Amino acid sequence: VPVSRIRNFSIIAHIDHGKSTLADRLLQSTGTVEDRQMKEQFLDNMDLERERGITIKLQAARMNYTAKDGEQYVLNLIDTPGHVDFSYEVSRSLAACEGALLVVDASQGVEAQTLANVYLALENNLEIIPVLNKIDLPGAEPDRVKGEIEEIIGLDCSGAILASAKEGIGIDEILESIVHLVPPPQDTVSERLRALIFDSYYDSYRGVIVYFRVMDGTVKKGDRIRLMASGTEYEIDELGVLCPTQKQVNELHAGEVGYLAAAIKAVEDARVGDTITLAKAQAAQPLPGYTEAKPMVFCGMFPTDADQYPDLREALEKLKLNDAALHYEPETSSAMGFGFRCGFLGLLHMEIVQERLEREYDLDLIITAPSVVYRVITNKGEELYIDNPSHLPAPNEREKIEEPYVKVDMITPETYVGTLMELCQNRRGIFKDMKYLTQGRTTVTYELPLAEVVTDFFDQMKSRTRGYASMEYHLIGYQENPLVKLDIMINGDPVDALAMIVHRDKAYGVGRALTEKLKELIPRHQFKIPLQASIGSKVIASEQIPALRKDVLAKCYGGDISRKKKLLQKQAKGKKRMKSIGTVDVPQSAFMAVLRLD
């Protein structure tokens, strides 16, 4: 196909506004996937994958479409991950397109993620086509939502498409709009090869499968390619397009989207955002904007059973093949033994990895509370980045500590503005902006320490607004604050895995609340267990877990053997999630207690 008849687009939407359903509808309606296959190939597969805990996504699909003008077009749909943690990848995949469908649920309206993704699309100069989805719902208010999009985003909605992905309404109109509104790629076939990697995954037979968009030049099967950021070279074994299953071709030229396999060993060697060029005829400059996605949140992962340490290492190695953003290194904790310090893009990323380790690799893990990365200047003038509170240099060894700040944008019904502002104030937020939108909806913007956001901020926001508010955040920089290290002692022993860094003004409150919470969470033992919180050598809070009375079982359950058995079984189950620290068994919940202080 000539470049003039290629259209590369993406779909951007807030979660649940109907992106996947619309993508399915487009595949069906262009005959890319047959109605019958649709069920078998996609939905069934997806259930299976879901059961294994793998997040499936349709990375890209090439559709042939005969437009009303009688011409044949190639439409490439490039998918984007839907969460703020992965906005770096979103940005890369949008850079591979000329246009985007902006899908907004007509019964809901513009949400924080809609907005964040629109800004990324605008930064990439994409043509944006507004689509109001779910117009079949009785609560749909397309006119109100159009007004919202115009007001908040400043996007003309006179031509917005009214659609129902579920009912198949508006699908033809969407396809025609893509053809007529999204500009074709620039014709740069004669230039040196530059292709943008927008996704990749590890396949145990073929190595890394790389998804890319050719921006300039031509790439052929058998070519020796060079990955410009990593500086490595490979020979292409397999080249193809996604229809949406892989179909081999011999060459791809500027404007086209495809995949390749070249015996690449780990996704890290072919990272999203890198530029592919030819080893023999290298492009002078890589494509713009390659920066590494840096982990923002760290935690310790320890096997409950020390024997599982090699299994944990192997599982992390395997996960890493497919997840270039996952960082890990061995960590030795005096309280917890051998484990790993792991870094993530955000909390969701952390939860996904944790879930996969437990589900796919059958590991029993103790995970410590998430920490952000602090910047410390020592009194020798060294600059340190500290991702583990127990490694913070002592007060007399450091000049200052800085913590990362984020800008948080929230969209909420007007009635909840007060409670959201209160939440932000409690979390050391700095008020930045508030704007009234249409019909009682408001955006509220704050700058907050990331540490205050990665605890239970999201859950608090949702519960305070009955689920109606949405949020987005991004890193804006570091700021100095009077921060101190809070140590926790259980039975007289400091537990490094429970140490944390808190604002001086909050230290006493946190120390008290945390010791109280630990008292609730740690089960009684045969002996008394003192719990203390301290700053340096100064104890600021203490509690005591009373000793278990030996006759508890006998007294409560008398001669009822079956009930007694049940109780013992329950305890045995609960034990799996315990870590012995000295002579005290500490449950997983205790390590996350700091996230649940009220």
Under the binding rule (CB under 5 A), the answer on residue 20 touching Mg ion is yes
Task: Name residue 247's beta-bridge partners.
Answer: 241
DSSP per residue over 148-175, as a string? HHHHHH----TTPEE-BTTTTBSHHHHH
Stretch that binds Mg ion, among 12-20, 37-45, 113-121, 341-349 (CB under 5 A): 12-20
Of 158, 255, 266, 168, nearest to 208 by C-alpha is: 266
Under the binding rule (CB under 6 A), the answer on residue 355 touching ligand GDP is no
Residue 25 or 194 with smaller CB distance to ligand GDP: 25
d(CA 508, CA 486): 9
Q: Could you give the C-alpha distances from 384 to 47, 187, 239, 295, 333, in angstroms and in order?
A: 45, 48, 44, 16, 20
With CB under 6 A as the contact rule, the residue among 8, 10, 12, 19 that binds ligand GDP is 19
d(CA 486, CA 501): 6
Stretch that binds Mg ion, among 16-24, 199-207, 475-483, 504-512 (CB under 5 A): 16-24
Under the binding rule (CB under 6 A), the answer on residue 15 touching ligand GDP is yes
**Tokens representing 520?**
């609730």
18 binds, options Mg ion, ligand GDP, none, Cβ within 5 to 8 A by partner type: ligand GDP
Under the binding rule (CB under 6 A), the answer on residue 534 touching ligand GDP is no
Stretch that binds Mg ion, among 19-27, 260-268, 314-322, 565-573 (CB under 5 A): 19-27
Under the binding rule (CB under 6 A), the answer on residue 18 touching ligand GDP is yes
Are residues 286 and 195 in contact, defined by beta-carbon separation less than 8 angstroms?
no
* b/e sequence 212-248, b meaning 16+ C-beta within 10 Å: bbbbbbbbebebebbbbeeeeebebebbbbbebeeee
Residue 133 or 177 with smaller CB distance to ligand GDP: 133
Under the binding rule (CB under 6 A), the answer on residue 133 touching ligand GDP is yes
Stretch that binds ligand GDP, among 17-25, 115-123, 198-206, 506-514 (CB under 6 A): 17-25
d(CA 181, CA 86): 28
277 binds, options Mg ion, ligand GDP, none, Cβ within 5 to 8 A by partner type: none
Of 519, 392, 397, nearest to 511 by C-alpha is: 519
Please report how close the Cβ of residue 224 comes to ligand GDP at its closest, in angstroms. 39
Please state, as a whole number, how many other Cβ atoms lie within 10 Å of the Cβ of residue 163.
Answer: 26
Under the binding rule (CB under 6 A), the answer on residue 25 touching ligand GDP is no
Could you give the dihedral angle defined by the CA atoms of residues 53, 588, 471 and 139, in that order, rounded to the nearest 10 degrees? 60
Annotate each residue in 153-192 with x if it binds ligand GDP (CB under 6 A) or - if it does not, as one string: -----------xxx--------------------------
Under the binding rule (CB under 6 A), the answer on residue 17 touching ligand GDP is yes
Q: Name, in order, each residue with C-beta under 8 angstroms of 112's C-beta and a sequence gap of 6 or more.
A: 14, 409, 410, 411, 470, 471, 472
Under the binding rule (CB under 6 A), the answer on residue 21 touching ligand GDP is yes
Please report how close the Cβ of residue 303 comes to ligand GDP at its closest, in angstroms. 34
**Tokens representing 325?**
């953003």
165 binds, options ligand GDP, Mg ion, none, Cβ within 5 to 8 A by partner type: ligand GDP
Residue 20 or 76 with smaller CB distance to Mg ion: 20
271 binds, options Mg ion, ligand GDP, none, Cβ within 5 to 8 A by partner type: none
Are residues 417 and 408 in contact, defined by beta-carbon separation less than 8 angstroms?
no
Residues forming the site for ligand GDP (CB under 6 A) = 13, 15-21, 133-134, 136-137, 164-166
